Amino acid sequence: MKLSRRFSWLALVILSTACTKSKIQDLVPDKNNGGITLPEKFGAVVVVDSIGRGRHMAISSRGDIYLHLSRLALDGKAIIALRDTTGDGRADVIKGYSGITGTGIKLHNGYLYYADETHVFRSKLTERELLPSNARDTLVTMVAGVGHMAKTFTFDGKGGMYVNIGSTSNCCEKTLRMPHTAGDSPCVELETRAGIWKFDDNTLGQKQDLKYRYATGIRNAVALSWNSDVDRLYALQHGRDDLHRYWPEYYTEDQNAELPSEIFFDLEQGDNMGWPYSYYDHIQGKKLLNPEYGGDGVKTEGCEKFKDPLLGFPGHWAPNDLLFYKGDLFPQKYKRGAFIAFHGSWNRLGHEQQGFKVVFVPMKDGKPSGPYEVFADGFIGPQPITNPNNAFFRPCSLAEGPDGSLYISDSQHGRIWRIVYFKDGITKTADRTLYQPVVKKEEEPVPDELQAGRMAYNTYCAACHQRDGKGAPGMNPPLAGINLVTGNKTELINIILKGYDKPTKINGESYQNVMPPHSWLTDQQIADVLTYIRKSWGNKADDVKSDEVAKVRSSDNYK
């Protein structure tokens, strides 16, 4: 079933109260696995195609899927419920529920739990009904702010609910995202951010408090899961950025592209993983002191007091989900192992972006028992990319179906793959018409008069806003086709001089990263950069002159 993002959800389907579970032997995988590569004898059925910016998902014991979107669908819904009534593995019943965008979503104790940036909610599910009750309970209210605001959570099955509360900053700098800035010591941010908080899974109206903090020193752990085999919490961290941009005397561009490691770790109450004081280097196999706290890429003083990770992955891969496989459908080697969805990098300077894959880590007694291996790949498309927006797909979430199928969601368009193992091999595939992304040019040529602006932009701005001005989803806003860029010049100049630290919503999507002041740039550099972005990527606005920058800089409003 081909689904257009232009469809009205209300006109799409009529809800069925019956649910037909697919039989594995009757499933026919899509040709080329719907655009991804898998190990031999594995095939992928595209469950649904292009329904929006899907984040995390949950699957019921009946096989119904609930996908949380980061941007509202056309009917104003942010949670999409999917059901297969024909047994072919493809959703033919699709309904929208709730207008609360976000990331975290789980099924637990007869409820659908879901989160926005500052709350965890739940709605009651009724047997055989696809959509939950319209009534919504608020379980937890958490600190508001900017930065890493996506809330994911998991349950221990004993009444505990564990919520990731990501950091505001890159490395607890005294001045956010500025080169050569010392780190705040002690990092006061740790009292309300950068850790895992434990709440009761059944008590309404809870408020975040330091007494509920379970573990700390964790910059942002979107991938979070309870491993019932060993009765312990596991997570993966998004590591800090900008080692080379902020500390070029200690790190090369190549080191910046690979470091610091994205780390996989287990947690017990009171554990400290070391952020912002230390980071893990998987190449050297040890914890190192961050340069904001006196480090230089070699020093390790004080790092011994922080917990060691289980495993380190290359930097900036962005682990977004973690699943411990319990089913019997896959070969025995996968049993109790960990699948990790890497969303892919956006901040490797001018290097090719990496990640964008699902890997498998074999596990024994709660520890990795061998090296990780790539399980699903090919998400970025046929060519290397320097901008994550040019990836065909970005794997974001994992879920296990009642029959042991592994589901992967995509955050670019909302495709969901159902991965199945065919022990006798794949004998036929379905040649369906699916949404086909197009290969995009990485960087357009510019006229000579914009070359100085592009050079300055690529040096100081492109790491966040990308070379094609499309930004990084959920983090750094796009500059193409934005009124703030093409509109009032004084307002735009002030943003460069003073920075910007307000949450921003553009085309229905929230952007959270703090932009530091760039007042140390000369008037001419600022004029060149702003002229470049006002005339690039389809923007058509007049030049910014250096005397206009000087006038704003000297004004009482700026001072």
Tell me the pLDDT tens digit for each residue of 507-528: 777 787 778 788 888 889 888 8
Helix (H) / strand (E) containing 532 = helix 523-534
Query: Three-class SS string for 499-510?
Result: CECCCEEECCEE
Supply the angle between the helices 523-534 and 489-498 in degrees, to the nearest 10: 130
Residue 312's beta-bridge partner residues?
A: 263
Banded pLDDT at 443 (limits 50, 70, 90): low
Q: What is the pLDDT of residue 449?
A: 86
Q: What is the pLDDT of residue 11?
A: 35
Per-residue pLDDT band for 20 (boundaries 50, 70, 90) equals very low
Check whether 1 has a pLDDT greater than 60: no
Most confident of 158-162, 383-387, 502-506: 158-162
Res 12: pLDDT: 38
Burial of 106 (0-12, 13-18, 19+ CB in 10 A): buried
CATH architecture, domain defined by 448-553: Orthogonal Bundle (1.10)
Q: What is the pLDDT of residue 372?
A: 97
Is pLDDT above 70 for 482?
A: yes
Would you state the pLDDT for residue 442? Answer: 64
| Per-residue model confidence (pLDDT) at position 458 | 80
Question: Quick one: 556 exposed, middle or buried, by C-beta within 10 A (0-12, 13-18, 19+)?
Answer: exposed
Is the confidence at residue 502, as pLDDT, over 90? Answer: no
Distance in angstroms (rounded) separating the CA atoms of residues 234 and 52: 29
pTM confidence score: 0.86
- Mean pLDDT score, 325-332: 96
Token digits for 229?
A: 């085999």
Residue pLDDT, tens place only, 245-269: 899 999 998 999 999 999 999 999 9
| pLDDT tens digits for range 334-343 | 999 999 999 9
Q: Are 463 and 499 in contact (CB under 8 A)?
A: no
Q: What integer best gives the mean pLDDT of the chain?
A: 90
416-421/406-410 β-pairing: antiparallel
Quote the pLDDT of residue 512.
Answer: 74
CA pair distance 37, 458, nearest whole angstrom = 33
Predicted confidence at residue 439, as pLDDT, reads: 80
pLDDT for res 364: 96
pLDDT value at residue 4: 39
Of all residues in the chain, the percent with pLDDT exceeding 70 is 95
pLDDT exceeds 70 at position 559: no
Strands 206-207 and 160-165: unpaired
Q: Dmax over Cα atoms in the chain, in whole Å?
A: 76
Question: Whole-angstrom Cα distance, residue 219 to residue 199?
Answer: 20
For 121-159, letters b (16+ CB in 10 Å) and e give bbbebeeeebbbeeeeeebbebeebbbbbbbbbbbbeee
Q: Which two tokens stand for residue 428?
A: 């036929």
Q: Is a pLDDT exceeding 60 seen at residue 346?
A: yes
pLDDT of 74-122, one tens digit each?
Answer: 789 999 999 999 999 999 999 999 999 999 999 999 999 999 999 999 9
Q: What is the 8-class DSSP label of residue 130?
A: S
CA dihedral 408, 410, 413, 418 (to 10 degrees): -10
Encode pLDDT of 276-324 as tens digits: 999 999 999 999 999 999 999 999 999 999 999 999 999 999 999 999 9
H-helix or E-strand spanning residue 149 = none
What 3-state class would DSSP assign to 233? strand
Q: Is 203 helix (H, G, I), strand (E, B) or coil?
A: coil
> What CA–CA distance (Å, rounded) separates 80 from 94?
7
Task: Give the C-alpha separation, 35 to 550, whole Å.
Answer: 51
| Domain ranges across the chain | 9-421, 448-553
Where does residue 484 fall: left (phi above 0), alpha (psi -120 to 50 degrees), or beta otherwise?
alpha
Length of the chain in residues, anyone? 559
pLDDT: which is higher, 344 or 450? 344
The single-letter code of the amino acid at 539 is N
**What pLDDT, in 10s, does the model give residues 116-171?**
999 999 999 998 899 999 899 999 999 999 889 999 999 999 999 999 999 999 99
- Per-residue confidence (pLDDT) for residue 454, from 0 to 100: 84
Q: What DSSP character marks residue 512?
A: -
Residue 188: the pLDDT is 96
Confidence grade of residue 13 (pLDDT, cut at 50, 70, 90): very low
φ/ψ of 260, rounded to 5, equals -80, 170
Question: Taking 90 as the threshold, does the pLDDT of residue 60 lie above it?
Answer: yes
In this predicted model, what pLDDT tens digit does every residue of 188-197 receive, in sequence order? 999 999 999 9
Q: What percent of the chain has pLDDT over 90?
A: 66
Peptide bond into 402 cis (omega under 30): no
Is the per-residue pLDDT at 10 higher than 60?
Answer: no
The H or E element spanning position 243 is helix 243-246
State the pLDDT at residue 557: 67
* pLDDT, average across residues 354-363: 97
In tens, the pLDDT along 218-238 reads 999 999 999 999 999 999 999
Q: What's the CATH class of domain 9-421? A: mainly beta
